[in-house]
């Protein structure tokens, strides 16, 4: 009985060591959704600046960099740069400690599919996901839960956009509207 009491006291009164990222090797991933975003704003550069500041602050070593282009996050496995990242993580003998992204929505917007992928990365491969703008990560159980919540939120945002935009697009087309422009040398005629 005394031994059990001693064990319980130690387990409840032990100070937990703070988790440190210092010196860890990481991969980075950035993306924007559309070609227009890639061409007309500096989102990739801004994401990289925040990532690099986080890397410097935490004394991390970026050993591979992916993305830096436009890839819609509607389907994780249809994104070439994202797949390069995942393939490299899966195939490397020496795994990175983490994949660093600006925001979790930059990693994925597929909800449950993304959670499954993150579970594989963390539980099977020992590779964490870290959001550089907030410092949230899958390193702790609470952080992992917050990351999962953000992945579901990103998916929900996509669903809400679809529910709003698609009906208006249908009405626009039914009224004779057209999306895009005709190729060079052609004109739009008729409904």
Reduce the DSSP state of residue 185 to 3 states and report it: coil
What is the C-alpha separation between 176 and 55, in angstroms, rounded?
A: 51
Is the separation of the CB atoms in 107 and 91 below 8 Å?
no
Residues (pLDDT < 50) of the chain are 14-18, 191
pLDDT of residue 162: 77
Q: For 56-108, what is each residue's pLDDT tens digit?
A: 999 999 999 998 888 887 788 888 999 999 999 999 999 999 999 999 988 88
pLDDT of residue 17: 45
Reduce the DSSP state of residue 130 to 3 states and report it: strand
pLDDT of residue 43: 84
DSSP state of 183: P
What is the C-alpha separation between 119 and 135, in angstroms, rounded?
A: 19
- Torsions phi, psi for 10 (to 5 deg): -65, -45
The residue assigned the tokens 């064990």 is 7
CA distances from 110 to 3, 26, 132 (A): 49, 23, 20
Query: Residue 128 CB: number of other CB atoms within 10 A?
Result: 23
Q: pTM of this prediction?
A: 0.76
Which pair of structure tokens corresponds to residue 105? 């929505």
Spatial neighbors of 43 by CB under 8 A, at least 6 apart, are: 32, 37
The strands making up 61-70's β-sheet, listed across from edge to edge, are 61-70, 25-32, 98-101, 128-131
pLDDT of residue 9: 57
pLDDT of residue 1: 58
């Amino acid at each position: 009985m005394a031994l059990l009491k001693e064990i319980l006291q130690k387990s409840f009164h032990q100070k937990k060591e703070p988790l440190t990222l210092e010196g860890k090797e990481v991969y980075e991933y950035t993306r924007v959704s559309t070609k227009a975003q890639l061409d007309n704003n500096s989102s990739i550069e801004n994401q990289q600046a925040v990532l690099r500041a986080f890397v410097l602050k935490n004394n991390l070593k970026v050993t591979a960099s992916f993305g830096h282009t436009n890839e819609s996050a509607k389907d994780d496995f249809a994104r070439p740069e994202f797949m390069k990242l995942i393939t490299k993580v899966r195939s490397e003998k020496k795994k990175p400690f983490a994949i660093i992204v600006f925001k979790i929505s930059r990693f994925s917007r597929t909800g449950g599919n993304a959670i499954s992928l993150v579970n594989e990365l963390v539980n099977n491969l020992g590779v964490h996901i870290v959001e550089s703008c907030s410092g949230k990560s899958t390193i702790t159980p609470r952080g992992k839960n917050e990351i999962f919540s953000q992945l579901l939120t990103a998916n929900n945002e996509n669903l809400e956009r679809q529910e709003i935009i698609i009906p208006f697009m249908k009405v626009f087309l039914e009224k004779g509207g057209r999306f895009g422009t005709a190729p060079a040398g052609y004109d739009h005629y008729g409904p």
